[in-house]
Amino acid sequence: MLELTVKVPAIKAGEYRIEIGTGILESVWPKLDSQFGGWGKFVITDANVAEAGHLDKLLSGRDIPTYVITPAGESSKNMGTVVSILEAMEQAYLGRDTVVVALGGGTVGDIAGFAAAVFKRGVMVVQIPTTTLAQGDSAIGGKMGVDSSLSKNAFGAFWHPSAVYIDVATLNTLDERQYRAGLAESVKHALIADEQYFEFLGKNLDAILERQPAVMEQIAYFNCKVKSGVVEADPLEKNQRRMLNYGHTVGHAVETASGFELLHGEAVAVGMIAAGLIEIETGLGDIKRLERIRKVLTGLGMPVGIPGSVDRTTLVDTIRRDKKAINKWPKFVLIDRIGSVHRKEGQWAIEVGQEVVEKILGKL
């Protein structure tokens, strides 16, 4: 069992624990009962997670009100789903003394966290991530949100969990594409904060693809350590936390413009290659470094180019709608070496001209 403590003054307790292990799912509920006493519980999951048997393992026959998001996936990540969940919680006579338990991938975690943030003006949420993407990134940090019809994560809130439980055994039920795609966030964490972690990923590609538990526990630990360090320094994304958006500005746009043909992690992989090309254009990087990154991403089975179906004009327009855009154009997070984000005048995201971005998109 691996453990970390994340210190977040923004929440009442001031901190929360992350527990990482293999086959720990069935032991989680007694811990929730111990930590939250007689508080009401409400589980949010999706059809895929329920079908995989994770819900049954978590509850072990307990009669707990549960909302199963159907269909599973990004198409349900909208305000309509949130409203349905909130009404289901009301119908269960739940009040301010409620703990929302999010069991699933990044989409489930985002929806559940957002619902917890707005139900009765805010109730606690516990994250139990079951995918590489959620275990490596989205379950930690408290950024919750849903999509609009025009852009990703357009509506949301900062709502930190009260606990996180990571059982890497749940990864065994993922299909190969979902499993590999989620590893993009692991590569991102290494690129922005830890060169040794990047080398660890490169040296353990076979073990990662074989889903060896000890290696996956280490990856979850590395990811949580990197992200929790950033979150502790900047819990509400005032500046430094923007470094976690590396590869995401172009990545989110590619994901949306593809009509979600690409999974989030796949799109972020493309976004990291785009960032590498921008770094070359702006003198912050070189082709040798980019090829090292490309080798790891392709070794993990991720795409490194924009699908031919994505129109470049639509893609640029989508980038202009980025939620962090100012005057209809966002700033970009770039690295000056593996493990180090480039900063300019104390800022962790810098201005990159639209013409530069359009040029590199033509190379993808």
Query: Which positions are annotated as active-site residues?
Result: 121, 143, 185, 227, 237, 241, 245, 248, 252, 264
Long-range contacts of residues 175-179, Cβ cutoff 8 Å, at least 24 apart: 176/301, 177/263, 177/301, 178/105, 178/131, 178/132, 178/263, 179/131, 179/132, 179/211
Alpha helices, H only, the chain: 28-36, 47-51, 54-59, 79-91, 106-118, 132-133, 176-182, 184-193, 195-203, 205-209, 213-233, 248-257, 264-281, 287-299, 312-320, 354-361
Distances (CA, A) of 36 to 97, 228, 256: 9, 23, 38
